Amino acid sequence: MKRKICFLMIFVLLMTLFPAFGLADTAKSQETQVYLNGIKINTGDVSPFIENGRTMVPVRLFSENLGADVKWDDAAQTVTIQGQDVSVKLTIGKNEAVVNGKNKILDVAPVVLSGRTIVPLRFIVEAFGADVKWDDAAFKAVVTWNVKIKDSTGNNVTVPAGLNRIVVLNTDAAEALRILQIPDDFIVGVSDTVQTDPYIGLNNKQNIGKWQTPTIEKIMSVKPQAVITYGR
């Protein structure tokens, strides 16, 4: 009788442990995603991952999607992320950062992985005054990053920071973006009147129709954050 009870207890224990192991393996293998203002961010050849409960991302995320200036000092093994009024300096392997000249403690130290500098997402985002929330069900970090500017009428408006999904309706607008050194990857749609010869990178963009009468459905299909045009 005692042997039967003992066997039953072991069986119940194993049944409770195996599902836990399964869940742990699933969480570990699940892809970590980062969304900025509703748009999924492509982090390139190194995917985001979780380290000690913190989302770690390539530092290029901030330069390519938010216009920050990123500088690497190989001798000192430091990376500096410079915004308009925020400077964040991190050292590889150290749990301490310098934000606008003040020392701050990091939960997770930056690392170099596959030749890429990897930094803690939440620390950088919050240092720049943005908000980040973790969606456990979808296994993704959701970043909300807005800035206040004046529109053409002089009114203060709040717009998403780091516009990286732009529709261009005419060549003048494309030229303006090129002068501002906006990467071609940020342009997701063009009208059929945009002269793409000078802008080879625009040849494979979604055609959204004529610039004076664009197709709204095609524009919305590329989920733009801004539609830019110019008229005399």
Given 3-state DSSP classes, what are the helix, strand and coil percentages for the chain, each rounded to the nearest 5?
A: 25, 35, 40
85, 115, 146 - which closes a domain = 146
Q: Could you tell me if 44 and 131 lie in one domain?
A: yes
Calculate mean pLDDT across residues 93-103: 96
Pairing of strands 187-190, 206-207: parallel
Alpha-carbon distance 28 to 153, whole Å?
A: 50
CATH of the domain at 72: 3.30.457.10
- How many separate domains does the chain show? 2
Q: Is residue 27 part of a domain?
A: no
Query: What's the pLDDT at 133?
Result: 93
Pairing of strands 78-82, 87-91: antiparallel
User: Which residue range forms the structural domain that includes residue 51?
Assistant: 33-146
Alpha-carbon distance 183 to 225, whole Å?
A: 15
Q: Is residue 17 part of a domain?
A: no
Q: Could you tell me if 47 and 141 lie in one domain?
A: yes
Query: What's the pLDDT at 11?
Result: 40
Alpha-carbon distance 55 to 180, whole Å?
A: 31
Q: Kindly give, in sequence order, each residue whose CB lies less than 8 Å from that of residue 50, ignoring residues fewer than 6 positions away.
A: 32, 56
Distances (CA, A) of 35 to 58, 138, 229: 14, 11, 27
Query: What's the pLDDT at 18?
Result: 43
Query: What's the pLDDT at 71?
Result: 93
Query: What are the tens digits of pLDDT across the range 159-173?
Result: 766 667 788 888 888
94, 116, 146 - which closes a domain = 146
Q: Is residue 139 part of a domain?
A: yes
Q: Is residue 219 part of a domain?
A: yes
pLDDT exceeds 50 at position 105: yes
> Can you give the pTM of this predicted structure?
0.61
